[in-house]
Amino acid sequence: MSPRTVTSIFALIAIAAIGFAIYIYIARSPLTNPSLPSPRPTPVTSSTESSPSPFIGSPTPSPGGSISPTPSPAGNRTFRDSDPLAVPNTVETIAEGDGLFSIATNHDMTVNQLAKLNNISDPDKVFAGTKLIIPDDSSSDTYTILYILNQKRLSKEKDKITAGGTSLYADPVTAAQSDIKNVYNLGADTPWSKTNEVGATITVSTSDKDRIVTATLEKVEDGFWLVKKLIIKVTQTNT
């Protein structure tokens, strides 16, 4: 047998082997033989996958970590018996590194207006921790400040009367002088005039070249007078 014949025989055997292997592969494939089960993928656990956060829906901290101060309603604050009987409804505390500009802007006021309302002579010199009275309503020349009752001071005043003493809250003028001082240059000696009294409500007023001020007081428990509302009408445009 010649070498060429032997080579041809081996080539035919190789081709037959390859064809047989292809036949076996096709016969066992689930794509061509539905009776065979499809292979199941192996589960993959990602090292970065985590369970849903319990804080979903929580606010995201703002960049820089700086949080602007927000007004504090009097009903959410704690008072002492040394605090006034009538406390402004809304105050705001100056935070470290903050100033009057951002606070005034947040309340649609100018720096000069906010400083004047809070008896601040130099708006550029304010300190962290300073509490500012924020008007409940304001326009370019009128500010309305509402007040709330300090129950602890009321109890202290009652104890004074029980012990035979006197209370400055027994008279509406001295009550106004006590609790409205340090607002728009009003002082403990500011002269107030009674302008209207109806039942348990009385109005007192004062004025000068800079402002016209009206305060409404209400008689509460045991005859004490409580400031309820203060309205300041500015009469100079440069304030």
Q: Determine whether 212 is exposed, middle or buried from the number of CB atoms within 10 Å of its CB (0-12, 13-18, 19+).
A: middle
State how far the alpha carbon of 29 is from the alpha carbons of 15, 21, 33, 36, in Å. Answer: 21, 12, 6, 7
State how far the alpha carbon of 120 is from the alpha carbons of 70, 95, 113, 130, in Å. Answer: 20, 16, 10, 10
Does residue 236 contact residue 209 with C-beta atoms inside 8 Å?
Answer: yes
- Condensed to tens digits (0 to 9), the pLDDT of residues 148-188 reads 999 999 999 999 999 999 999 999 999 999 999 999 999 99
Cα–Cα dist 218/172, whole Å: 9
- Condensed to tens digits (0 to 9), the pLDDT of residues 63-101 reads 333 333 445 555 568 899 999 999 999 999 999 888 899
Q: Determine whether 176 is exposed, middle or buried from the number of CB atoms within 10 Å of its CB (0-12, 13-18, 19+).
A: buried
pTM, two decimals, is 0.68
